[in-house]
Structure 1
Amino acid sequence: MFRSLVVLLFLAVPRDAARAAEPAKAPVWDAAAARHLLSRAAFGGTPEEAARLAALPLERAVDLLLEEAAAAKPPARPEWVRDVWINGGRRWSDMSAEEYLIVFRRHNARNAQEIADLRAWWLQQMITTQTPLRENMTLFWHGHFTSATGKVNGFSQAFYQQNETYRRHALGNFRRFLEAVTLDPAMMAYLDLERSSKAHPNENYARELLELFTLGVGNYTEKDIQEIARAFTGWTLDAPPGSVKVNRPTAPDRLQFPSITRDGMVPTFVPEQHDNGEKTVLGRTGRFGIQEVLDLIVQQPACGRHLAGRLIDYFGASDPEGRLRERMAQAFRESKYEVRPMLHVLFTAPEFYAPAARGSKVKGPVRLLVGACRDLRLEGEATPSLAQLTVPLGQELFNPPTVKGWPSGTAWISASTLPLRY
């Protein structure tokens, strides 16, 4: 099916930013280039789909892909998703320990089944969608803004909600996306923002926000992390308004049954738990909260460069001198932090169609499986068993191995995974 050869060249910082931003020679646009675009952007494509794009000028072909992805309607949600989620694993004050153990186990079993169904549901969307670029970008964001079921137990609906958030913002404004991610229930639970208070600010989310999600190593200080953690205090997850809250358990029960203490998954601001003092973040001082901090972050030149580098790596352009990254970062700044213009620059760039970029990207297991199903025009409903095929290859949806997400390039290849790919 897919034959992959070498890892991407390391992205170098250009010595002369003005020179790096200069556009290169226009790429050759033909049927082979159209197939390459579909392979990277859309999980692959049929000969008819490639011919449709090849008949258009390159700029128009890319615009068409982006327009269709941006205009796509969200898929119908799984049947088990509810409008309002209330924790079915709570322990009420009149329950004995034995009764609660039954409730807890039943809740966890139901959650495990829902997560398995969710993996199959998303795989089905990727295989059958008429706008594969949108699902591909949703997958990209899932590996960029990571959360994992391995840590966040009993919380299946939150992962569906997160998936929909990534899909809704996939090609949109990055600043608005950052706010949605910051107050996403699964993310708040995964990186402990729900536990961050004025007396005990938790630095986990602040650290990953700067290191992995926005700026990259070397573009912030340890003090910035500490100050952002203070700015983000006061947010927690609570029950829907009007709901009856659970009777808080004792410490031993809380350790044995993690889901016992979560009433709901509504992001809720508790003013008395927020540190309203002055903070100094990225060289600016003020009584900052989430809004002000996110504004400061996206204004940093490093933000656009970091995001451009992640997109270049994911879609597999050849950019050894960093010129493409600079042009994409410039589009990010000039558009006031929109993702779509960055993708337009990427998919029309000579570096994307260069010989060094073709046949040089080792696809991740999900993209490999989805591409094969789409190329073979396989129909029918995806099942949890089909979704499970990617696990021995190293990619389990909704459960990346670390907060850094999944590896890329030749890291997907090992003595155990290579035979399974062919």
Structure 2
Amino acid sequence: MNNFLKNKHLISRAGFGIHHNDIEKYKNLSPKKLYQELKNNSEYKVLLTDFPTVTPEQYLEMSKAQDRKPLNQFNNLYNKNFRKSWHSQMINSPYQLREKMAFFWHGHFATRIQHALFNKEIIEIFRKNALGSFRDLVFDVSKSSAMLNFLNNQQNKKAKPNENFSRELMELFTLGRGNLYTEKDIKESARAFTGWSYNELGEFTDNKKQHDAGEKVFLGRNGNFDGTDIINIILEQPECAEFITKKIYQFFVNDIADEKIVKSLSQKFYKSNYDILTLMDEIFLSDWFYSDENIGSKIKSPVELIVGIRRIMPMDLQNKDTIYNFEKILGQELLQPPNVAGWPTGLAWIDSSTLLIRMKIPSVMAGYKTLDIEPKPNDDVNMGKEENKVIVNQNQNTITIHWDSINNILNQDLFSILLPKSNEKLQNTILQFNSDKSRKHLMISIMSTPEYQLC
């Protein structure tokens, strides 16, 4: 593979796909230099929104009012605006590696709540710690108001322990389902986390009055453990490093994990004291990352698909909700994972309905077609709410493509630019279909293939 194909693969995994302004750079840089550039462009900056926020004190006053409408309206509008700001950051920011990693953590430590300030806090935790210490990340997430709220640790008290958080901490966040721990360990760790809560302003508190100070037995260890002790004991287990490494490998490399490679990576991750960037270096600087079996092996999630289209095809949106409707009907909205296990992966994104919608979206964006569809009913996703019909681009002018900005792309080999892999038969079929049409139509046709759904 030449540098361009390798770099295209790298930016599709370590970021959200190639940007229309960077085509020549991808041709000329070596993959190692491009990865170094991605690492260098990984500064953390708090997301800014167009919608004015409120202080925790102001939010508290709204929550105490008899009329809940202002509070509900603020939550809805701020969550929507914050989602758009993060979406824009994924599209336009050079900090691709940080945002892609934060996106991964958002699905790993999944929370689903309406409290806008709590949502903002936990997303910033993901973004800030995205490439830092997994140890720090686990502690920050475990003490966040969003997680404590979502998994009911606010109700975890010594008189009546609540096991929700302690169970998911081990099952989904650190060790993996049924790996190493027992039901007894869950009960004992729940006792250790009693008293971990937050105050009226959403600040973490360790309420000693509600903490069970008795001796506990956890993973074979005895002691008067608290939440900090439990997390530290979990992180002492090599199985934790292996579970996290495998999940990262499946997200960034291949859904089918190479157990030998995962084992080697996890040992280095463990020895680094859970340094996330060290693990990502091992992955993205390896030769096997660019092996043929890893190219085009993953199905883009809806967010990856839509953000990737917007990076390669610049556009203006008259109605900014339009773009998020695409993700909604495909089953993925930022801040709205379906449950504590996060979003599905791989083939779970594709069925006969969603594939047809995915293939139609580029034409809708270009104004060639309209999309009139209802989101698929799914209680896990929609939480029992009634969904209104989503009509996208009905007037044919809600999205404007800046074709002039990508003339340099239109005149190049669009197949190698847009598809992870291509074959002569596919190229001939698409070229024949577009023989009497413009290069714009050719680009949209390529982006409307099943192959474009892969990265």
* TMscore range, shorter length: 0.7 to 0.9
Offset at residue 31 of structure 1 (A) = 2.0
Q: 2:109 aligns with which of 125, 145, 161?
A: 145
Contact persistence 1:319–1:325 (CA under 8 A): no
Residue in structure 1 matched with residue 306 of structure 2 by the alignment: 369
Contact persistence 1:309–1:325 (CA under 8 A): yes
CA distance, structure 1, for counterparts of residue 286 and residue 272 of structure 2: 18
Offset at residue 366 of structure 1 (A) = 0.4
Residue in structure 1 matched with residue 199 of structure 2 by the alignment: 238
Offset at residue 89 of structure 1 (A) = 4.3
Offset at residue 78 of structure 1 (A) = 5.0
C-alpha distance after superposition, 1:10-69 (max 9, x if no partner): xxxxxxxxxxxxxxxxxx672211111011111112476465466555444323322322
Contact persistence 1:120–1:382 (CA under 8 A): no
Offset at residue 159 of structure 1 (A) = 0.4
Residue in structure 1 matched with residue 90 of structure 2 by the alignment: 126
Give the TM-score, by structure 2 length: 0.74
User: What letter is aligned with 2:208?
Assistant: P
Contact persistence 2:122–2:144 (CA under 8 A): yes
**How has the CA–CA distance of structure 1 residues 267 and 57 changed in structure 2, closer, same or farther, with 3 Å as cutoff?**
same
Give the TM-score, by structure 1 length: 0.79
Matched, 1:82 2:54: yes
Q: 2:37 aligns with which of 41, 46, 64?
A: 64
Match of 1:276, SS state, is coil
Contact persistence 1:201–1:229 (CA under 8 A): yes
Matched, 1:330 2:267: yes
Contact persistence 1:276–1:287 (CA under 8 A): yes
Contact persistence 2:111–2:335 (CA under 8 A): yes
Contact persistence 2:269–2:275 (CA under 8 A): yes
Higher helix proportion (structure 1 or 2) = 2
CA distance, structure 2, for counterparts of residue 235 and residue 381 of structure 1: 45
CA distance, structure 1, for counterparts of residue 321 and residue 16 of structure 2: 20
Residue in structure 1 matched with residue 130 of structure 2 by the alignment: 170
Q: 1:187 aligns with which of 138, 147, 162?
A: 147
**Mapping of 1:174-323 within 5 angstroms?**
174-217=134-177, 218-239=179-200, 264-317=201-254, 320-323=257-260
C-alpha distance after superposition, 1:69-114 (max 9, x if no partner): 2x3433335543234343244346xxxxxxx2xx123322332222
Stretches of structure 1 lacking an aligned partner (at least 5 in a row): 1-27, 93-99, 240-263
CA distance, structure 1, for counterparts of residue 23 and residue 330 of structure 2: 29
Offset at residue 205 of structure 1 (A) = 0.6
Residue in structure 2 matched with residue 351 of structure 1 by the alignment: 288
Contact persistence 2:189–2:230 (CA under 8 A): yes
Matched, 1:36 2:36: no
C-alpha distance after superposition, 1:216-273 (max 9, x if no partner): 122211111111111111122212xxxxxxxxxxxxxxxxxxxxxxxx3122221110
Contact persistence 2:99–2:127 (CA under 8 A): yes
Matched, 1:106 2:79: no
User: What letter is aligned with 2:289?
Assistant: F
CA distance, structure 1, for counterparts of residue 216 and residue 183 of structure 2: 13
**How has the CA–CA distance of structure 1 residues 75 and 268 changed in structure 2, closer, same or farther, with 3 Å as cutoff?**
same
**How has the CA–CA distance of structure 1 residues 119 and 48 changed in structure 2, closer, same or farther, with 3 Å as cutoff?**
closer
Offset at residue 361 of structure 1 (A) = 0.8
**How has the CA–CA distance of structure 1 residues 147 and 320 changed in structure 2, closer, same or farther, with 3 Å as cutoff?**
closer
Residue in structure 2 matched with residue 421 of structure 1 by the alignment: 358
**How has the CA–CA distance of structure 1 residues 404 and 223 changed in structure 2, closer, same or farther, with 3 Å as cutoff?**
same
User: What letter is aligned with 1:266?
Assistant: E
Match of 2:288, SS state, is helix
**How has the CA–CA distance of structure 1 residues 299 and 382 changed in structure 2, closer, same or farther, with 3 Å as cutoff?**
farther
User: What letter is aligned with 1:391?
Assistant: K
Matched, 1:159 2:131: no
**Mapping of 1:385-400 within 5 angstroms?**
385-400=322-337
Match of 1:268, SS state, is strand
Contact persistence 2:254–2:294 (CA under 8 A): yes
Offset at residue 298 of structure 1 (A) = 1.2
**How has the CA–CA distance of structure 1 residues 53 and 318 changed in structure 2, closer, same or farther, with 3 Å as cutoff?**
farther
Percent identity reads: 34
Contact persistence 1:317–1:353 (CA under 8 A): no
Offset at residue 316 of structure 1 (A) = 2.9
C-alpha distance after superposition, 1:153-183 (max 9, x if no partner): 4x11110111111100001101111110001
Contact persistence 1:146–1:403 (CA under 8 A): yes
CA distance, structure 2, for counterparts of residue 284 and residue 363 of structure 1: 43
Match of 1:143, SS state, is helix
Contact persistence 1:121–1:382 (CA under 8 A): no
CA distance, structure 2, for counterparts of residue 192 and residue 75 of structure 1: 27
Contact persistence 2:167–2:186 (CA under 8 A): yes
Greater RCO structure (CA 8 Å; 6+ sep)? 1
Contact persistence 1:319–1:351 (CA under 8 A): no
Contact persistence 2:175–2:240 (CA under 8 A): yes
C-alpha distance after superposition, 1:335-380 (max 9, x if no partner): 1111111111111233321111111211000010001100113367
CA distance, structure 2, for counterparts of residue 363 and residue 372 of structure 1: 11
Match of 1:236, SS state, is strand
Residue in structure 1 matched with residue 398 of structure 2 by the alignment: none
Moved more, 180-189 or 216-225: 216-225
Contact persistence 1:198–1:275 (CA under 8 A): yes
Residue in structure 1 matched with residue 100 of structure 2 by the alignment: 136
CA distance, structure 2, for counterparts of residue 319 and residue 61 of structure 1: 26
**How has the CA–CA distance of structure 1 residues 130 and 293 changed in structure 2, closer, same or farther, with 3 Å as cutoff?**
same
Contact persistence 2:49–2:82 (CA under 8 A): no
CA distance, structure 2, for counterparts of residue 224 and residue 344 of structure 1: 34
Match of 1:87, SS state, is helix
The alignment yields a C-alpha RMSD, in angstroms, of 2.2
Offset at residue 394 of structure 1 (A) = 0.6
